[in-house]
Amino acid sequence: MEVGVENLDFNDAKFDTAVKFHGHVCPGISIGYRVAMLAAERFKDRSEDEELVAVVENRSCAVDAIQAINGCTCGKGNLIFKEHGKHVYTFYKRGSEKALRISLKPDALPQDSRHTALFAKLRAGTASPEEEKEFQASHDAKSQRILEMPEEELFRVSEVNIEPPEKAIIYPTVICSKCGEGFMEPLGRVKNGEIVCISCFEAKNE
C-alpha cells in the first residue's frame, strides 16, 4: 500500500490520516492508531495547542499516529519522550485529575521468527524478490490484525495520577562562540572558557 500526502485532513481521525503522515502501513503505525483513537475517544478534541499532553515511552512508528491524530507534537512541546523502549503511552489533559495510561500487552503480538529473519535480510539488502514479497505480505497481515484485535486483547488501559507536565518554555537564543549558530540558552556548554553549542562542545578535532 503506497500512500501520498495529498488531500490530508488532520481533523479526520481515520487510519489513512496516520498512514499519510507516517508514509506507509506497518504494525507500528497500526499500534499507534489504536492508541491515538483510544485517547481521542476519551479527550474528544485534537490538541490545538498544548492542552493535551502525550508522554510516550519509545521512539517507534506508533508515535507518528499520535502526532497526526491527537495533535501532540514535538514542535508544540506537548509530546514528551521517555526512552524506555516500551509501548506505553500516557495522555494528560490540563485541568484533569487523572491521566489515561495505555500499554501494549506483552502477549498481544507473539514473536514471529520468520518475520524477524526476513526483516533482517531486507534491511541488509540480501532478501530475494520472493522474500521481499513474503515479508510485505506478513507485514501487512500483522498490521491488519492489530487494527482488528479487540481492545482488551491488545492493551491494558487505566487511569493514573501523574505530576502535571510543565508547559513548553521558550528560551533565549545564545550564539555559539565557535560556529556562530544560535541555540537555546540552557543547552549551552563551556569549552576553553567560551560558551559553545553542544555540537562544538562534543567535536573531537578541537
CATH assignment of the domain containing 135: 3.30.1330.130
Does 3 reside within a domain? no
Q: What pLDDT, in 10s, does the model give residues 100-141?
A: 999 999 999 888 899 899 989 988 999 899 999 999 898 899
Same domain, 88 and 148: yes
SS3 196: strand
Q: Which residues of the chain have pLDDT under 50?
A: 1-11
**pTM of this structure:** 0.81
What pLDDT score was predicted for residue 199? 94
Same domain, 43 and 78: yes
What pLDDT score was predicted for residue 12? 54
What pLDDT score was predicted for residue 1? 37
C-alpha cell at 163: 505530576
**Cα dihedral 20→110→103→61 (10° resolution):** -20
Domain span at residue 140 reads 13-160
Same domain, 84 and 52: yes
